Structures are given as C-alpha cells and as structure tokens.
Amino acid sequence: MNPSSNLFLVGPMGAGKSTVGRRIAAHYGLPFLDMDDELERRTGVNVSLIFEVEGEPGFRTREARLLKELASGSGAVIATGGGAILDPENRSVMQSNGFVLYLAVNVAQQLNRLARDNRRPLLRAPDRRERLEAMADLRTPLYESIADIQLPAENGSVGRSAQRAIQLLDQHWLRRSAAA
C-alpha cells in the first residue's frame, strides 16, 4: 500500500503516465485518475476543444483547479498532464500532497510513441520534433526538481516499465519506513 497521501505521475506526453499509472494503481489497490480524462468527463468535451475555445491559458486554469481538488483527496494514483508542471503552484500542490514519480522519456521515444496521435493540441505543429524539443528544454528541469523518484523510459513494454516503477516505489517506501 502506498504510504503517501497520493502518487502523482509527471512527465511529457508519450511517457506512459496513464498506462503505467493504471498498472501501479491496480498493483497497490488504489484508485487511478487521469487528469485529462477527468477534465473531459466533467466538461463533456475533449481537451482539444477546450484548447480551441479557451486557448492554453484557459485549459491550464481548469487543470490547476482540478489538480487542487484531486490532491485534497487521499490514496490515489494521479496522472497529470505533461504541462501541469509549468505552474509553480501546481508543483507545490503535488509536493505537499503526495509523492511524485517522474516518467522520463526522450524526444526520439516521444516521436515514436506519438507518431499516429492527432488528438493532442500541442502536437499540432509543422515540426513535431522541434516542438517536443522546445517543450523538453523548458519542462525537464521542472519535472526533475519535484520528483521523489525518476524512472528512465525503457524501450521495452509498458508492463516492464510499470514493474520497474513498482520496484522503485517499493524500495523507496521500504527505505522511508526503515528510517522512520
């Protein structure tokens, strides 16, 4: 069982936050919440439409409000959106209300994983590589700054990544329990 109040998964799009998060939640018997899915469920529209109508600032405002609400609960695995990290208050909310696992992935891996993805608004750019590199330059130091544990992306299966994440979490929590 997760001894932290919540487990937040952070990382760029294509890192596997949703897929790995579901497996971690199942392993620990915890509820899983994907922030983008939850936002879509509550608004009745997809993230792309929110971006189209309200722009990125409107989406980020909704995202921050939802993060605060979800973080006020306890014992959930929460997959954040890749850009949630941009807001200093969001970073503080995650650090204050749980444990942060950073799923790292490089741009080449992102391009491979997202090759057929046409639904993400921030991927709609003439040069996807250039867009992803610019986002990585800005966001990677932020992910690293709040991560309790960093899980480097593997070229293997999602199942293997989830198992590795569970091993790292178990090791960290056992060390923490022994030190207390």
- pLDDT for position 14: 80
Nearest to 104 by CA among 145, 144, 148: 144
- pLDDT for position 2: 44
- Please say whether the beta carbons of 42 and 63 come within 8 A: no
Instruction: Flag whether 48 is in a domain.
Output: yes
Instruction: Flag whether 150 is in a domain.
Output: yes
Domain count, the chain: 1
- Cα gap 159→4, rounded to integer Å: 23
The token pair at 79 is 């997959």
Residue 128: partners with Cβ closer than 8 Å, 6 or more residues away? 111, 114
Residue 54 structural domain? 6-179
Instruction: Flag whether 1 is in a domain.
Output: no
- pLDDT for position 177: 56
Instruction: Flag whether 99 is in a domain.
Output: yes
Neighbour-count burial of 44, counting CB atoms closer than 10 A to its CB (0-12 exposed, 13-18 middle, 19+ buried): exposed
- pLDDT for position 96: 94
Nearest to 21 by CA among 101, 140, 136, 115: 101
Nearest to 104 by CA among 9, 7, 169: 9
- pLDDT for position 62: 96
Work out whether the CA dihedral 69, 74, 79, 83 comes out positive or negative: positive
- Please say whether the beta carbons of 57 and 51 come within 8 A: no
- pLDDT for position 178: 59
**CATH code, 40:** 3.40.50.300
Instruction: Flag whether 67 is in a domain.
Output: yes
Cβ count within 10 A of residue 21:
26
Q: For every one of its 180 residues, what pLDDT tens digit does the chain have, with 9 covering 90 and above?
A: 444 589 999 999 888 899 999 999 999 999 999 999 999 999 999 988 898 899 989 999 999 999 999 999 999 999 999 999 999 999 999 999 999 999 988 887 766 766 676 666 566 777 778 888 998 999 999 999 999 999 987 666 677 888 999 999 988 776 665 565
Identify the H or E element spanning 67.
helix 47-71
